Structure 1
Amino acid sequence: MTAQLAQKLRASWQRLLAALACLLVLPGALTSCALLGGGDTLHVLAGSEVKDLEPILDDMARETGVTIEFEYVGTLDGTEMLLNTPDNEWDAIWFPSNRYLSLFPEGANAVEASESIMRSPVVLGVRQDVAKRLGWSDDSQPSWGDVVDAVDRGDLTYGMTSPISSNSGFTTLVQLATAISGTGTVLEPGDVEQVIPDLKKFAAGQQLASGSSGWLVEKYLEDPQAVDGIFNYESVLRGVKVDNKPLHIVHPSDGVITSDYPLALLKGADDATREKYDKVVEYLLSADVQQRISEQTNRYTSYTPEGQSPAAVYELPFPNQLGTVQDLLAGWLSEAKKPSNMVFAIDTSGSMSGGDRMAELRQALDVLSGPDSEAGSSASFLRLQSRETITYLEFSHEIKSELTVTIPEDDAGRQAKLDEIHSHTNHFQPYGGTAMYDAVRRAYEDMNYSNSDQLNSIVLFTDGENIDGMQDRDFTNWYESFIEDHPEAKNVPVFTVHFGDSNREELESLSQLTGGKTFDGTGDSLATAFREIRGYL
């Protein structure tokens, strides 16, 4: 009997036993019992990158009786959540990579077992016409230095996710810095300062920012001519076509870093949890499922035919010191990356006086300007960085206050500005109606579009429906007229936060009109939504 046949027979018996068990419970529980294959659940802290496996995991639940319940979070945030939560509620983690976790002394003791399920390097995808113009082909791939030079000449623009929130952006930054350091070995803390000048040249080409790999692709496909290409997982890029032509995939000749998507069982798991984990791993590594993963997600697996295996490119080493990664991220944010120019339109209407809404708002705003976090933590990277400009536009039925601050590069000046912001936002008081479209219009009209060396965005927070001033149709007509007169404004998205009694449909319509995205602040913490938004700014 083959292992595959044995697995199918075991799955059939498990389905039969689950069905018999369901017959013994109350009728009202039959539906959930049938859907969950017996009710066994594995709680997994994961990167959003594995969402595309959900159809396969649904079949797995039916066949094995084990359902995976995900909590999605960025790799850096998730790693620190894991390490800073003594009695966590997760059984396993599933990030694109556990390399960041391995840098922490306690990281090695966090995992009991780990299995790589699939693989994909992070690479650059460009339109075919761009590859031809630059002379890049499968037989003549550029180095990372060539990519930087193309950007510096003005011949290459790109989109990339934020290194502080998305693994694809984080990996892009690490492999770029490692390659251009010129040492031929692992990046060290002393190398970071040396690569900053080249990182500045590289950053100048970024025209599209995102907090997630999926949204980056969505934005790129809305207007593929807006940038020449995007950095993302090769598996994602292979599914992208522009004018019915696949992207040209650039594997820089001096190396890439491959994400290996390890499903890892956490320490302290009991026998029942370990058994569920083993069932999941056995299912995902079975030949037919590996084939399905490869065909449906474009990732490399044990099934991938030899002729379709990854290009023969050097695998760059990942830094082996936490300080190196922290210095690199800090240098990118404060010195290299294009500075952000943000307008936060904050609703402090009378409805905000209910419950703990103002307290939640202040806690959320502290993500940007609150008390300093531990140096090098992901939370510290979310705070406002030097060279960034932010405007707080407080509104109800009218504009109540406005403060614009540019963060200085020196530590003392930076802290003074953060204190000024903190004091200003702590004086917000709830009263009045809600005129959110008027506030967004004001944000667009006041924004400085003359500086191409910054990334512009608007964030709208409201806890209620629009009842004053412009209505949705009025705003749409105004917006379409405004971007005709100010074409640069078309590239300024409005990110909206759904909170309290706000109209989600109304917010999503506004985000869609302006090329933004709506975030849910109705969950456990409004601050969590603000943390997620930060990756898009």
Structure 2
Amino acid sequence: MRKFIAAFLCLLALAACSDSTPPETFAVVAGSENRDLEPIVQEFCTKQGHACSVTYLGSLDIGLSLADAEPKYDAVWPAASIWISIFDQERKVRHLASIAQNPVVLGVRESLARDLGWIGRDVSMADIVAAIRNGKLDYLMTSATQSNSGASAYLAMLSAAVSHGDTIRRQDLDDPAVTETVRTLLRGIRRSAGSSGWLADLYLASARQGVRYDGMWNYEVTIRDVNNQLRTEGKELLYAIYPTEGVAVADSPLGFVDRKGGQETEAFFLKLQAHLTSPEVQKRIAESGRRLPFGSASTATPRAEPEWNFNPEKLISTIRMPEPGVIRQALDLYQGALRRPSITVMCLDYSGSMQGDGEQQLREAMSFLLTPEQTKRHLVQWSPQDRIVIIPFDGSPRAEYQSTGAEAEQGAMLTAVNTQVAGGGTDIYACATRALQRIDDLNRNEEYLPAIVIMSDGKSQGGAQAFRRAWDASTKPPVFGITFADANEQQLKELADETGGRVFDGRRDLIDAFRSMRGYN
């Protein structure tokens, strides 16, 4: 009897522990393009009594995560399948299925589209090339190596430039006629970015301030969201252009990564995937402005908006995606040769508070940026056409260093940076003003995409008004801030907001912050 009671109490204790222990979290890594679909995922997880987390990374980072020896996530949900095709060499991803479809299109200011004669007719990439060559069109576009929308636009450009009417082949990337056409199309980029959502926010903020960009390559649903906001504010809409040669479509694939070896986790994933592809949920997804995968059980679609050429029921031409190896080669070609060259002036804080760990971490970050073997892995390598200027500063700017992005010059630049010793006060505005002068000197014909990058860990000593006067009289390059240690983020944020830049958090990972910044230049 005593043994029975003891066993019964033990069972009760185990049951109590089981009830009080939360289920193991199901971890999903997703592209930011899927962020507005997370509530649907969390609703399902709650009903199932299962904890779920969603971490948002860029398309490239999602792909690179698949190369990790020990994956951190149970499921991957990038914007498009190409990032899995390129990086999932060990075939870790299973049960891959498209959740939604989202073509990448060119939105052009309606009045400009009318002036170009593009309203109500088919428009080809050749028409876009002609408009760029005639100085009538520029646009915003994300980096092809850091964001799926940029990669999609770029692959559509390449596909349109080939003459054989088939998918892009390796030999096409060596064809001078193909590369020159694509180089011209990329010359139309006026601002780049590492995030489709941030690019949309930039377009809206600029429209409010009276700064007019001609257009933007972005997801069809993002153009719809931007137009909804522009309409509310009484601003000019973007007219959607679907090049006749075809557009690339983001297929929002959800796939399982078996990192635990448990059937329960896989079974939960399959339930989640079935929920997202069910007719009821597909109807909700369609109402968000996305198109549905071919053969989807739901036929629901949002209403057409002909005023800006949006009709999700209308068939569009799509490109055939090349082999993964060709895509990777095409992305290397973009980063190393075809993209519009950049001029980047980096203000590096060597004030006294940087002594010790600060100096070491800054050297490590610059070692990453100026070591081609490392930057190539993350597709942020410099091209020989780029210009790099580094200005160390404390209470005033120190001697500066200049080079192109040629590999042979980067080692000498890194050696020079590593000789710097921390000491003195902090004046970010004096360095930023010097950076403006250098950009105006080197970019008189505006052939480069310019950027000022300020890395600082302390509060500046003043000079803000002098910088603002100099910026108003300049070509107005964006200023990007990278925070470090106990940096005064407010000052950097004000500079970024006023100039159309962005602040990156380097306090957790300074190298990653610099890498992210490269996607915006």
Q: Give the TM-score taking structure 2 as reference length.
A: 0.86
Matches within 5 A, 1:400-419: 400-407=398-405, 414-419=406-411
- Whether the 8 Å contact between 2:63 and 2:86 is mirrored in structure 1 is no
Instruction: Quote the residue 2:225 is aligned against.
Output: 239
1:456 to 450, 460, 467: 450
Which stretch shows the higher mean deviation, 325-334 or 116-125? 325-334
Matches within 5 A, 1:18-97: 25=20, 38-83=22-67, 85-97=68-80
Residue type at the aligned position of 2:225: G
Work out whether 1:290 is the aligned partner of 2:320: no
Deviation at 1:123, TM superposition (A): 0.9
The CA distance in 1 between the partners of 2:237 and 2:292, in whole Å, is: 18
Which stretch shows the higher mean deviation, 384-393 or 260-269? 260-269
How has the CA–CA distance of structure 1 residues 22 and 223 changed in structure 2, closer, same or farther, with 3 Å as cutoff?
Answer: farther
Instruction: Quote the residue 1:391 is aligned against.
Output: 389
SS in 1 for 2:141: strand
Deviation at 1:345, TM superposition (A): 0.5
- Whether the 8 Å contact between 2:123 and 2:241 is mirrored in structure 1 is yes
The CA distance in 2 between the partners of 1:149 and 1:532, in whole Å, is: 33
Work out whether 1:182 is the aligned partner of 2:163: yes
The CA distance in 2 between the partners of 1:278 and 1:40, in whole Å, is: 17
Deviation readout 1:435-485 (Å, 9 max, x if unpaired): 22222222223322412111111011012222x3x1xxx51x334433443
How has the CA–CA distance of structure 1 residues 428 and 383 changed in structure 2, closer, same or farther, with 3 Å as cutoff?
Answer: farther
Instruction: Quote the residue 1:330 is aligned against.
Output: 332
SS in 2 for 1:443: helix
Which stretch shows the higher mean deviation, 197-206 or 219-228? 219-228
Residue type at the aligned position of 2:510: L
Which stretch shows the higher mean deviation, 243-252 or 162-171? 243-252
How has the CA–CA distance of structure 1 residues 143 and 364 changed in structure 2, closer, same or farther, with 3 Å as cutoff?
Answer: same
Deviation at 1:433, TM superposition (A): 2.1
Work out whether 1:518 is the aligned partner of 2:518: no
Residue type at the aligned position of 1:255: G
The CA distance in 2 between the partners of 1:509 and 1:299, in whole Å, is: 38
The CA distance in 2 between the partners of 1:337 and 1:88, in whole Å, is: 32
SS in 2 for 1:533: helix
SS in 1 for 2:38: helix
Instruction: Quote the residue 1:101 is aligned against.
Output: 84
Work out whether 1:277 is the aligned partner of 2:269: yes
How has the CA–CA distance of structure 1 residues 278 and 133 changed in structure 2, closer, same or farther, with 3 Å as cutoff?
Answer: same
Deviation at 1:304, TM superposition (A): 4.8
Deviation at 1:169, TM superposition (A): 0.4
Residue type at the aligned position of 1:79: G
- Whether the 8 Å contact between 2:482 and 2:504 is mirrored in structure 1 is yes
Work out whether 1:223 is the aligned partner of 2:206: yes
Q: Which segments of 5 or more consecutive residues in structure 1 lack a partner in the other structure?
A: 1-19, 26-32, 408-413
Instruction: Quote the residue 2:4 is aligned against.
Output: none
- Whether the 8 Å contact between 2:30 and 2:54 is mirrored in structure 1 is yes
1:465 to 459, 462, 482: 459
2:316 to 313, 316, 324: 313
Question: How many residue pairs are counted as aligned between the two chains?
Answer: 483
Deviation at 1:518, TM superposition (A): 0.8
RMSD: 2.5
How has the CA–CA distance of structure 1 residues 157 and 359 changed in structure 2, closer, same or farther, with 3 Å as cutoff?
Answer: same
- Whether the 8 Å contact between 2:99 and 2:251 is mirrored in structure 1 is yes
How has the CA–CA distance of structure 1 residues 514 and 484 changed in structure 2, closer, same or farther, with 3 Å as cutoff?
Answer: closer
Q: Which segments of 5 or more consecutive residues in structure 2 lack a partner in the other structure?
A: 1-14, 305-310
The CA distance in 1 between the partners of 2:111 and 2:488, in whole Å, is: 43
Deviation at 1:180, TM superposition (A): 1.4
1:498 to 478, 483, 495: 483
The CA distance in 2 between the partners of 1:22 and 1:137, in whole Å, is: 66
1:350 to 352, 360, 365: 352
Residue type at the aligned position of 1:358: E
Deviation at 1:61, TM superposition (A): 3.6
SS in 2 for 1:240: helix
The CA distance in 2 between the partners of 1:105 and 1:526, in whole Å, is: 27
The CA distance in 1 between the partners of 2:349 and 2:129, in whole Å, is: 42
Instruction: Quote the residue 2:129 is aligned against.
Output: 148
The CA distance in 2 between the partners of 1:21 and 1:437, in whole Å, is: 61
Which stretch shows the higher mean deviation, 230-239 or 277-286? 277-286
- Whether the 8 Å contact between 2:113 and 2:239 is mirrored in structure 1 is yes
How has the CA–CA distance of structure 1 residues 513 and 22 changed in structure 2, closer, same or farther, with 3 Å as cutoff?
Answer: farther
The CA distance in 2 between the partners of 1:498 and 1:513, in whole Å, is: 17
The CA distance in 2 between the partners of 1:483 and 1:103, in whole Å, is: 42
Instruction: Quote the residue 1:6 is aligned against.
Output: none
- Whether the 8 Å contact between 1:40 and 1:276 is mirrored in structure 2 is no
How has the CA–CA distance of structure 1 residues 503 and 56 changed in structure 2, closer, same or farther, with 3 Å as cutoff?
Answer: farther
SS in 1 for 2:185: helix
- Whether the 8 Å contact between 1:511 and 1:518 is mirrored in structure 2 is yes
- Whether the 8 Å contact between 2:287 and 2:300 is mirrored in structure 1 is no
SS in 1 for 2:388: strand
Instruction: Quote the residue 2:428 is aligned against.
Output: 436
Deviation at 1:371, TM superposition (A): 5.2
How has the CA–CA distance of structure 1 residues 310 and 260 changed in structure 2, closer, same or farther, with 3 Å as cutoff?
Answer: farther
Matches within 5 A, 1:135-214: 135-138=117-120, 140-194=121-175, 195-214=178-197
Residue type at the aligned position of 1:165: Q
Instruction: Quote the residue 1:248 is aligned against.
Output: 239
